[in-house]
């Protein structure tokens, strides 16, 4: 088993089981072989009881939104306050498949761009008491998050595990548990938030960008998957499946879409906003030269329909096509691609 320490600007390797120097800070990802019993991977120093391979995680899940399914197991190991501003989440991914799994950008959101670090920046924490989503802290001058740095593609061999950590802005003192949300698993609810035995000063002392704590939106999906709606602050966004609105690769609204668009028009009539934004999206099939124009044409087609259906005067429509950018689900499954083929209609309540 190899333990990797990700120090600021320097990456060093040492075999597991070595004596730790006083004050050493462990910011690491660890890969352990399935036959190895020498101990666990490192989590940030000062945790409220470091997890070992023999200890039970706080919560576990297999992936649900990728083709890996139960071949990749994800554990939550600990969630600790390191000071009044920083909490650190420790997790583990285990390959249960008979062949290797390339983690790459599975825990990233949005997917990795060229030259960007591979990091678990797609993980977030949800404060249900205050209805807030905490995004990972970002170190000044760095891309990605203040978290484990995987540096390149990670080939996780059969039976191997990798431990990783992510730093977040702290919630208020009265918050005692949070939800851990990832891009590839169901949410992990009620993860206890404890106080670290000692703060990891390398993490807490890192200069960071302005923390991102977002208002938690209310999201509701129809049972048939044809539409969903998101309520955020004073805005309503209604996402309609392109599979309901259009024929394959077409931009002419079908007769079957009438009921859905009439319902949206009624909501716009009853709202107060004067501007309606219509955004078209596709899955990642094809390329931008096809997807962007198609998404633009579909947004314009929906605008034409709504202009006829909305009875309130003074409404301005704004349309845009984004192609396969800004996916709301994985493109690795048909279910995910169906969610990504959509038209979103947004307006003030």
CA distances, 18 to each of 2, 8, 51, 195 (Å): 11, 21, 17, 27
Locus of tokens 């800004």: 326
Token couple for 273: 């906003």
| 51 has pLDDT over 50 | no
Residues 6+ apart with CB under 8 A from 184: 63, 64, 65, 66, 68, 72, 74, 106, 107, 330
**Whole-angstrom distance, CA of residue 34 vs CA of residue 95:** 10
| Residue 203 predicted with pLDDT over 90 | yes
What are the structural domains, with CATH classification, of the chain? 2-215 (no CATH), 218-348 (3.30.1330.60)
pTM of the model: 0.54
Contact status, residue 227 vs residue 238, Cβ threshold 8 Å:
yes
Where b means 16+ CB within 10 Å and e means fewer, 180-204 reads bbbbbbeebeebebbebeebbebbb
| pLDDT one-digit tens code per residue, 6-44 | 333 322 222 222 222 222 222 333 333 333 333 333 445
Question: Using one digit for the tens of pLDDT, what is the confidence trace for 254-287?
Answer: 988 888 899 899 999 998 889 999 999 999 998 9
Least confident among 8-17, 52-61, 120-129, 133-142: 8-17
Q: Which of 69-73, 114-118, 179-183, 193-197 has the lowest mean pLDDT?
A: 114-118
Instruction: Give the pLDDT confidence score for residue 113 in this predicted structure.
Output: 53
Predicted confidence (pLDDT) at residue 324 exceeds the cutoff of 60: yes
Structure tokens at 290: 């096809």
What rounded mean pLDDT belongs to the chain? 79
**In this predicted structure, what is the pLDDT of residue 224?**
53
pLDDT value for 70 = 86
pLDDT at site 107:
82
Residue 10's pLDDT is what?
Answer: 25
232-254: pLDDT as tens digits: 767 888 999 999 899 989 999 99
CA gap 193, 128 in Å, rounded: 13
Most confident residue range from 150-154, 185-189, 315-319: 315-319
> Alpha helices of the chain — where are they, by DSSP H?
201-204, 242-245, 258-270, 288-309, 334-340
Cα dihedral 30/35/37/39 (nearest 10): 0
**Residue pointed to by tokens 């249900």:** 128
**276: its two tokens:** 């309606």
């Amino acid at each position: 088993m190899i333990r990797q320490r990700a120090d600021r600007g320097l990456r060093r390797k040492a075999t597991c089981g070595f004596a730790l120097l006083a004050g050493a800070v462990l910011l690491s990802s660890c890969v352990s072989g399935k036959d190895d019993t020498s101990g666990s991977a490192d989590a940030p120093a000062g945790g409220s009881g470091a997890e070992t391979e023999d200890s039970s995680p706080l919560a576990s899940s297999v992936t649900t939104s990728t083709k890996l399914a139960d071949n990749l197991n994800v554990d939550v190991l600990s969630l600790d306050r390191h000071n009044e501003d920083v909490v650190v989440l420790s997790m583990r991914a285990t390959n249960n498949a008979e062949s290797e799994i390339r983690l790459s950008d599975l825990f990233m959101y949005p997917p990795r761009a060229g030259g960007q670090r591979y990091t678990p920046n797609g993980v977030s924490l949800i404060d249900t008491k205050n209805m807030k989503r905490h995004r990972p802290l970002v170190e000044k001058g760095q891309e990605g998050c203040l978290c484990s740095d995987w540096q390149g593609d990670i080939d996780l061999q059969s039976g191997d595990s990798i431990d990783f950590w992510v730093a977040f802005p702290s919630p208020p003192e009265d918050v005692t548990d949070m939800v851990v949300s990832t891009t590839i698993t169901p949410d992990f609810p009620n993860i206890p938030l404890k106080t670290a035995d000692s703060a990891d000063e390398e993490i807490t002392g890192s200069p960071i960008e302005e923390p991102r704590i977002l208002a938690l939106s209310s999201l509701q999906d129809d049972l048939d998957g044809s539409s969903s709606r998101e309520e955020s602050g004073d805005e309503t966004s209604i996402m309609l499946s392109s599979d309901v609105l259009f024929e394959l690769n077409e931009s002419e609204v079908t007769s079957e879409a009438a009921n859905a668009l009439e319902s949206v028009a009624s909501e716009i009539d009853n709202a107060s906003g004067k501007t309606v934004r219509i955004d078209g999206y596709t899955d990642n099939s094809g390329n931008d030269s096809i997807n962007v124009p198609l998404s633009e044409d579909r947004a314009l087609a929906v605008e034409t329909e709504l202009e006829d259906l909305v009875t309130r005067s003074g409404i301005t429509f704004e349309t845009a096509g984004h192609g396969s950018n800004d996916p709301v689900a994985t493109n690795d499954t048909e279910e995910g691609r169906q969610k990504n083929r959509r038209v979103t209609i947004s307006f003030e309540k």
